[in-house]
């Protein structure tokens, strides 16, 4: 009887350890997505001046595409308006929003002066996501605090929102783009986004 109990406890503890390992593996995978993306950003920054905007853009296409769920972000940005769009409009919005996301990184991370990213911690959300907390150290300036919100897809963990110093990029875009879509229509929204992409390439 004692032997059976010992076996039961051993099996139970083994299951607990396996379960715990899976949770840590999930968190680690999300952390790795963020860590890889940040490393790729730094690499682009180090060669930013030589690459120019178009070179930085080309280098970041796969980095952003492989770390962000751009389709989900585009859907969230326009909210309930997404269901009112045709299939072609949805595809067009995802395409132009993807280009905007890449262009904004190519514009904002264009030169290097000793910056470094550090991942601080991560936590699971109540809805099955993971938030990775990190900061960007900037010489002779204040650190920038980042929260990367990730959701698991069929392929991997993907970033769906970034909060920088308490400001949600997704919330800002949703407020602006939904308003344009409702007031001026789909074509006006696409034109506005293309204008932003064009401006990023010139600055």
Number of domains in the chain: 1
Provide the pairing of β-strand 157-164 with 130-137.
unpaired
Q: Give the sign of the dihedral formed by CA 33, CA 38, CA 44, CA 47.
A: negative
In the beta sheet, which residues pair with residue 145? 135
> Where would I find the H helices in the chain?
2-46, 48-67, 70-78, 87-108, 169-184, 186-202
Tens of pLDDT, residue by residue over 60-114, are 999 999 999 999 999 999 999 999 999 999 999 999 999 999 999 999 999 999 9
pTM over 0.85: no
CATH number of 181's domain = 3.10.450.710
Q: Residue 69 to residues 10, 105, 156: CA-CA distances in angstroms?
A: 41, 15, 10
Mean pLDDT value of segment 24-38: 79
Q: For the chain, what is the mean pLDDT?
A: 87
Range of the domain at 25: 2-202
141 pLDDT band, cuts 50/70/90, is: very high
Tens of pLDDT, residue by residue over 42-67, are 999 999 999 999 999 999 999 999 99
Residue 3 pLDDT greater than 90, yes or no: no
């Amino acid at each position: 009887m004692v032997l059976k109990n010992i076996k039961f406890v051993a099996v139970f503890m083994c299951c607990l350890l396996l379960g715990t390992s899976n949770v840590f593996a999930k968190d680690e995978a999300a952390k790795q997505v963020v860590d890889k993306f940040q490393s790729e950003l730094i690499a682009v920054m180090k060669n930013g001046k030589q690459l120019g905007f178009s070179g930085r853009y080309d280098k970041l296409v796969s980095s952003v595409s492989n770390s962000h769920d751009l389709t989900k972000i585009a859907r969230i940005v326009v909210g309930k308006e997404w269901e009112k769009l045709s299939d072609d409009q949805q595809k067009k919005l995802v395409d132009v929003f993807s280009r905007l996301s890449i262009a904004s990184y190519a514009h904002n991370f264009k030169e290097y002066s000793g910056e470094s990213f550090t991942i601080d911690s991560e936590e699971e959300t109540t809805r099955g996501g993971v938030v990775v907390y990190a900061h960007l150290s900037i010489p002779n300036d204040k650190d920038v605090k980042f929260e990367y919100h990730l959701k698991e897809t069929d392929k991997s963990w993907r970033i769906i929102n970034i909060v920088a110093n308490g400001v949600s990029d997704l919330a800002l875009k949703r407020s602006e783009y939904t308003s344009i879509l409702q007031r001026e229509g789909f074509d006006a929204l696409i034109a506005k986004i293309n204008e932003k992409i064009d401006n990023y390439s010139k600055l």
